[in-house]
């Protein structure tokens, strides 16, 4: 039987009042064990406040005003009263709950909503465009709140506005999936890093641990980018012996995907920006003949010197008149990692091996310079050179480290 949104909302309420992480994990784990396969990925995404997979470019595209208008319509209130209630509460979900509990008219024909119903309407909200799109979105929102109980309204409003407020993080969900399907948290983490969708990972976990370790990165499904953490050269040399040192650029991070002659570019937030920087996409397309996924940073350059990152940001956010801005702001990509090539996922390889693969697969013009050294003075010289060249400094990396999407690695 498919899960009703009311049942989902009751689980959310329980979690919202459960302070301990282990207790929260146990509640989620118990729920996962009994779910229909069709509901499993939806349940997981919604518990984490995400209407769609992390890699998806779909966005609900609904702002607070649209939600308030819909709630005003179904409760018989004017919009000002709804906004006032939200402002007094400080929590749109709680405000919607109280308004639905006191609405002036009640429908005798309301239908219970399932997770699948919510998913279908989320897709409508994300994909509807054109001159009549707002009317269609308003119709969906009115149906939503016209068919929800006050408790459902609390969590539906929060989901729509991107803030569920129940405290389920990726670690809690990872452990719950592992416990529900008797697999290791490490296997779940590996599959999540490659697929960037814990909902899909739960379905795979049904098949066992080997299936989780067999998950590979796919082009045009961007993975989270590896993050840096604080550290000193001295400490890292003591720990690792040899480090990889690279310039620290004052630019904007990107992930470049190429497969079957199609190229796409994604930002740090995994939003597609191909349309905004077609010149950079063309440079990288020409730089490799492989199907490939690359990690790097774009910088703006004038007269051979880097410009502050705000210049890059202007291009990334540009939606119109791209051609004239290409002439005004010259962008240069600097590639420092490779995560996938010709069907092979590389994230488990050490940095030193990934670097070799990168240098073989991509022409050197856009590959970021790198120094591998165990000499602190040599690394310090690179640091001073980077500053002289107008960059922010250097990054130092453990040559043995794998690529860990979304995790602060040994930088």
Q: Please list the active-site residues.
A: 248
Distance CA 278, CA 227 (A): 26
- The answer to whether residues 396 and 185 touch, using CB atoms and an 8 Å cutoff, is no
Nearest-angstrom CA–CA distance, 33 and 38: 13
Tally the residues of the chain.
411
d(CA 189, CA 272): 24
Residues 45/270/395/358 CA torsion (nearest 10 deg): 110
Number of H helices, E strands in the chain: 19, 9
Strand residue runs (E) in 234-283? 243-248, 252-259, 262-267
Q: Is 52:61 a contact under the CB 8 Å cutoff?
A: no
Q: Residue 185, exposed/middle/buried by CB under 10 A (0-12, 13-18, 19+)?
A: middle
Buried b (16+ CB within 10 A) or exposed e, 193-215: bbbbbbbbbbbbbeeebebbbeb
């Amino acid at each position: 039987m498919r899960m009703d949104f009311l049942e989902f909302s009751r689980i959310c309420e329980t979690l919202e009042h459960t302070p301990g992480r282990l207790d929260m994990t146990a509640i989620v784990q118990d729920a996962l064990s009994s779910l229909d396969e069709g509901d499993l990925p939806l349940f997981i995404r919604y518990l984490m406040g995400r209407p769609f997979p992390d890699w998806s470019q779909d966005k609900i595209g609904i702002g607070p005003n649209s939600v308030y208008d819909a709630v005003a319509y179904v409760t018989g209130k004017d919009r000002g009263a709804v906004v006032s209630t939200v402002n007094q509460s400080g929590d749109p979900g709680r405000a919607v709950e109280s308004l639905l509990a006191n609405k002036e008219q009640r429908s005798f024909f309301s239908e219970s909503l399932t997770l699948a119903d919510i998913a279908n309407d989320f897709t409508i909200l994300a994909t509807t465009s054109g001159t009549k799109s707002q009317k269609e979105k308003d119709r969906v929102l009115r149906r939503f709140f016209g068919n929800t109980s006050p408790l459902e309204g609390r969590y539906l409003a929060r989901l729509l506005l991107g803030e569920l407020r129940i405290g389920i993080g990726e670690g809690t969900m990872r452990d719950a999936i592992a416990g529900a399907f008797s697999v290791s948290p490490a296997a779940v983490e590996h599959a999540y890093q490659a697929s960037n969708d814990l909902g899909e990972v739960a379905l795979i976990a049904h098949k066992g641990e080997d299936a989780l370790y067999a998950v590979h990165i796919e082009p045009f499904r961007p993975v989270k980018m590896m993050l840096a953490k604080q550290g000193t050269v001295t400490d890292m040399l003591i720990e690792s012996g040899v480090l990889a040192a690279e310039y620290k650029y004052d630019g904007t991070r990107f992930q470049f995907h190429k497969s079957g002659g199609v190229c796409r570019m994604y930002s740090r937030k995994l939003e597609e920006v191909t349309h905004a920087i077609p010149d950079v996409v063309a440079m990288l397309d020409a730089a490799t003949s492989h199907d490939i996924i690359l990690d790097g940073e774009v910088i703006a350059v004038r007269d051979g010197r880097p410009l502050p990152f705000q210049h890059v940001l202007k291009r990334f956010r540009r939606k119109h008149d791209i051609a004239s801005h290409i002439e005004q702001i010259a962008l240069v990509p600097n590639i420092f990692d490779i995560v996938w090539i010709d069907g092979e996922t590389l994230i488990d390889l050490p940095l030193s091996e990934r670097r070799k693969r990168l240098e073989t697969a991509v022409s050197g013009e856009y590959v970021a310079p790198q120094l591998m050294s165990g000499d602190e003075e040599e690394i310090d010289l690179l640091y001073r050179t980077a500053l002289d060249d107008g960059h922010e400094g250097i990054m130092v990396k453990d040559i043995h480290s794998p690529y860990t999407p979304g995790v602060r690695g040994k930088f």
